[in-house]
Amino acid sequence: MSEDPLEAIILQTINGAISTIPGYMEEIRENKDTLKVENAEEFVYGVVMGMALGMSGAILSAQEKPPTAEDQIRVRDIIYKHIPEIRERIFS
pLDDT tens-digit profile of 19-67? 999 999 999 999 989 999 999 999 999 999 999 999 988 888 888 888 8
Does 1 score more than 80 pLDDT?
no
Q: What is the DSSP letter of 81?
A: T
Count the helices and strands in the chain (H runs, E runs): 6, 0
Residue 12 identity: Q
Calpha distance 69→50 (Å, rounded): 19
Query: pTM of the entire structure?
Result: 0.83
Segments making up each domain of the chain, as ranges: 5-91
**What is the SS3 assignment for 69?**
helix
